[in-house]
Amino acid sequence: MQAHALPILSLLALTLAHGNITSPPARLPGPAMSRACGAAAVSAVQSDFTGPLENIPSSSSNSAACNIFLCKGAQFADNADKVQTLTPGETVNFTAALPIPHEGPANVSIVDTATNSVIGEPLLEFESYADEKLAALPKNNTQFSVTIPEDLGGKCEEEGECVLQWFWFGTSAGQTYENCVDFVVV
């Protein structure tokens, strides 16, 4: 019995994939997230990088340092090597993987990480994203681009201040997905 438990769990982990951003490089968990959110939260993300926020144990925690609903709990300190340098008006191409789609709304926005607030309007919005009832997903679900606004009001000039956050909510699944790309404008 015992001997079989591990392979079965591994198989489940492989089949429970849902979706994530694969380019540009998005924030991943690391030691700073472990300190802020706990090692169990990091393990949960690492067990399936495409899993929803609801699978991360500290999503109900009130720890001030950890907000799973901002960048999936991933911290700038663990990702300082991934900052994209962008210019106003620049187009940024994204690729996403959606191994298990769940229909619902999605968007990409610039988020001020200090306040977890959206700067300006969403850069891209899907009323209906990742619709598993379609024979094939539209290409724009996994390959899309956003344009950096001309005027960010002086924000997003310091590393860690702003992220491009991909957000997707699978309505019937009740599952939320987020990934954040750190960037600065020059």
Ligand X SMILES: *[C@@H]1O[C@H](CO)[C@@H](O)[C@H](O)[C@H]1NC(C)=O
28 binds ligand X (CB under 6 A): yes
Closest of 17, 131, 29, 19 to residue 71, by C-alpha: 29
According to the binding rule CB under 6 A, does residue 21 interact with ligand X? yes
Two structure tokens written together for 14 = 């492989």
In 3-state terms, what secondary structure has residue 104?
strand
Question: Closer to ligand X at the Cβ: 2 or 91?
Answer: 91
Compute the least distance from the CB of residue 142 to Cu ion, in Å: 15
Footprint on residues 77-106 left by ligand X (CB under 6 A): 93, 105
Find the part of the chain contacting ligand X (CB under 6 A) among 6-14, 32-40, 59-67, 120-128.
120-128
Candidate residues 96, 175, 181, 183; the one interacting with Cu ion per rule CB under 5 A: 175
Which residue, 4 or 182, has its beta carbon nearer to ligand X?
Answer: 182
Whether residue 87 contacts residue 148, with contact meaning beta carbons closer than 8 Å, is answered with yes
> What is the H or E stretch that residue 37 is in?
helix 31-37
How many CA atoms lie within 13 Å of 178's alpha carbon, on the beta-carbon side?
24
CA 113 to chain centre: 13
Is 2 or 159 the residue whose CB approaches ligand X more closely? 159
Contact criterion met (CB below 8 Å) for 101 and 132: yes
Closer Cβ to Cu ion, 67 or 175, answer by number: 175
Structure tokens at 21: 């951003």
- DSSP bridge partners of 184: 85
Q: Contact between 140 and ligand X (CB under 6 A)?
A: yes
The SS3 call for residue 185 is strand
Candidate residues 69, 145, 147, 174; the one interacting with ligand X per rule CB under 6 A? 145
Q: How many amino acids of this chain bind ligand X (CB under 6 A)?
A: 21
Residues near ligand X, by CB under 6 A? 20-22, 26, 28, 49-50, 93, 105, 107, 109, 118, 122, 124, 126, 138, 140, 145, 167, 169, 179
Residues near Cu ion, by CB under 5 A? 18, 100, 175
